[in-house]
Amino acid sequence: MPTLEDNKHFWGNEYGWPSLGEEWSADWGGSFMQWYGTILPRIAAYVPTGTILEIACGCGRWTQYLKNVCRHLIAVDLSPRCIEVCKRRFGDEARIEFHVNDGTSLRMVPEASVDLVFSFDSLVHADASVLTAYLSELPRILKRTGVAFIHHSNLGEYARLYASINKIPWLEKWLQMFKVLEQDLHGRDFSVDARRVETWAAKYGLTCISQEIIGTTKLWLDCLSTLVQQDSPLARPNRVLRNKAFVQEKANLKALSWLYGPNN
């Protein structure tokens, strides 16, 4: 997996950011459809709110919507270039702060100050060391009633399967050729999955209240975990859903964007 330095270099120097991240929303018919059709319904119970912390904001694909559902937004990213772009893009709004961080810590965020921690389409590439570092910071920065909504890898579920397959040098390519295995693992990390996140959360004083496991037609690649403080009034036994309909949800939104997208 790429190191934090590799990430900083890639997002800061190699990646062209042709549409400031909008390019990754093409399958939804644009970020507007993805935000209103996929993301907002999953966090609607927690917004509008006071303070939102966005981890790994990139060039602001979600920042542009998050800023409208809170009074104060703190956004961090390990790439100085992304933070520069965001400052230029949203800079005239005093209630929004941007910080370059080291890729693991949230020292710039005061204690018990955050109502919603949000991260989408970034920590899917993070490994266990990054995920645990961020999870360990959340109990300090979240208010007692605060919530974290984190999109992360679920590829760890298949770590043993892939380890066995990779013992035979030609097998992975062969299984891909016959469409048994996924062609592209989309940079997801094998050291993270829903179960592990639930366990790490508990170790650091958090409770997972829901985990939506999503993916492609062949693999449950990702997970959306919602976490709260262990003494939060929102704490409850975890609810885990493998959402097969996610692929269809995406396709429907893309179809609807033709009628309802902002550029039509």
Ligand X SMILES: C[S@@+](CC[C@H](N)C(=O)[O-])C[C@H]1O[C@@H](n2cnc3c(N)ncnc32)[C@H](O)[C@@H]1O
Q: Under the rule (CB under 6 A), what is the footprint of ligand X? A: 4, 7, 11, 21, 56-58, 61-62, 77-79, 82, 101, 103, 120-122, 126, 130
Give Dmax (Cα) for the chain.
Answer: 57
User: In the complex with ligand X, which residue's Cβ is closer, 56 or 181?
Assistant: 56
User: In the complex with ligand X, which residue's Cβ is closer, 13 or 237?
Assistant: 13
Q: How far is the CB of 98 from ligand X (least distance, A)?
A: 12
User: In the complex with ligand X, which residue's Cβ is closer, 101 or 232?
Assistant: 101
How far apart, in whole angstroms, are the C-alpha atoms of residue 18 and residue 161? 36
How far apart, in whole angstroms, are the C-alpha atoms of residue 3 and residue 181? 26
| Amino acid identity at 227 | L
Q: How far is the CB of 31 from ligand X (least distance, A)?
A: 8
Residue 61, sorted as left (phi over 0), alpha (psi -120 to 50) or beta, turns out to be alpha
Contact predicate 189/129, CB 8 Å: no
How far apart, in whole angstroms, are the C-alpha atoms of residue 184 and residue 24? 15
Q: How far is the CB of 123 from ligand X (least distance, A)?
A: 7
User: In the complex with ligand X, which residue's Cβ is closer, 48 or 187?
Assistant: 187
Q: How far is the CB of 5 from ligand X (least distance, A)?
A: 11
Nearest residue to ligand X, scored by beta-carbon proximity? 58
